[in-house]
Amino acid sequence: MSIRVMTAVWESGPQEPSKRFLLLALADHASDAGANCFPGLDLLAEKTQISIRQVQRLLRQLETDGWIAILKVGDGRGHRTEFLIDLRRLHLVKGDTVTPLQNKKGCHLRQERVTFATIPHTP
């Protein structure tokens, strides 16, 4: 749990309430670097009281809007999805705007996953 990231979401996170609430739920599982975030869809749905299908839609929107990146897509039992919260977008790290790097598969939106350029950790 990162109080630092959660506070930044409150201060400069998305304006839409459902996106903000979901990003807060993700921040509750992230490290201070915005990484090591592995909550399941069922847990996010339970925490936010939003349906699993709506959580999936909102995660895609947060990814498209640049608030998060999906580093690794989980594909079943024991293989969890890993999220990265963009600290630059939350004004926790200074630097240029974050440019997503496309995966080699990147022709279909559902297959395309992005990672952010190296994000330096600041204490």
The model carries a pTM of 0.73
> Token match 């297959």: residue?
111
Could you tell me the residue range of the domain that residue 68 belongs to? 3-115
Q: What is the DSSP string of 21-41?
A: HHHHHHHTTS-TTS--B---H
43: CATH: 1.10.10.10
Q: Is residue 44 part of a domain?
A: yes
Answer with the residue of higher pLDDT: 112 or 30. Answer: 30
> Token match 């395309």: residue?
112
Model confidence at 91, in pLDDT bands (50, 70, 90)? confident
Residue 42 pLDDT exceeds 70: yes
**Model confidence over 9-31: pLDDT tens digits?**
999 899 999 999 999 999 999 99
Domains identified in the chain, total number: 1
Calculate mean pLDDT across residues 86-112.
Answer: 53
Q: Is residue 120 part of a domain?
A: no
